């Protein structure tokens, strides 16, 4: 008996709406990563993009545990000598709270061509409005 491997056009992709209000960042990011990869689907294979689209709203209302708000730092480098930049989570929460969720989810998906393809299906918004009403997203229950 052969193992069933779905074709790319046989995979049905749904749209999920996730409300981040009062959700712990790491636990929220794991659920989002599982939805993006499609790991809960019976036709999941690790070498195909079988995941769904995920819309995250209320990104500025996530909950953080411990002292992460003051202690956690995000680094970026311009590529030039001395070009390292550092931001704390508090600074990022004030300016771009959606980036915190994106970075947490990026850490949980593969760092290859498939991972980049999966990551593009994540849409994160500040506030409760989003431009994807036409896709009729279903509310995801935790």
Q: If we measure between CA atoms, which residue out of 38, 42, 45 comes closest to residue 14?
A: 38
Residue 16 to residue 137: CA distance in whole angstroms: 5
Task: Check residue 65 and give its pLDDT.
Answer: 94
Share above pLDDT 90 across residues of the chain, in percent, rounded to a whole number: 93
Residue 125 to residue 137: CA distance in whole angstroms: 14
Residue 128, token pair as written in the block:
């409760």
Residue 60, token pair as written in the block:
């500025």
Reported as a single tens digit per residue, the pLDDT across 91-132 is: 999 999 999 999 999 999 999 999 999 999 999 999 999 999
CB count in 10 Å sphere of residue 113: 9
| Four-residue CA torsion sign, 73, 23, 120, 104 | positive
Task: Check residue 76 and give its pLDDT.
Answer: 94
Helix, strand, coil percent content, the chain, rounded in steps of 5: 35, 20, 45
Domains and CATH numbers, the chain: 12-64+96-129 (3.90.1180.10)
Residue 15, token pair as written in the block:
């749209």
CB count in 10 Å sphere of residue 88: 15
63 with 104: CB under 8 angstroms?
no
- What residues are paired with 16 via a beta bridge? 54, 138
- Local confidence band at 22 (pLDDT 50, 70, 90 cut-offs): very high
């Amino acid at each position: 008996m052969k193992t069933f491997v779905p074709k790319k056009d046989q995979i049905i992709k749904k749209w999920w709406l996730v409300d981040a209000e009062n959700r712990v960042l790491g636990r929220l990011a794991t659920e989002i990563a599982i939805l993006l990869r499609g790991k809960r689907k019976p036709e999941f294979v690790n070498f195909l993009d079988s995941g769904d689209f995920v819309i995250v709203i209320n990104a500025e209302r996530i909950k953080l545990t411990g002292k992460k708000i003051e202690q956690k730092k995000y680094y970026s480098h311009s590529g030039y000598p001395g070009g390292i930049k550092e931001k704390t989570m508090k600074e990022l929460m004030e300016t771009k709270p959606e980036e915190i969720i994106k970075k947490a989810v990026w850490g949980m998906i593969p760092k290859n061509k498939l991972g980049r393809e999966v990551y593009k299906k994540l849409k994160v918004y500040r506030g409760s409005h989003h431009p994807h009403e036409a896709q009729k997203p279903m509310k995801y229950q935790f």
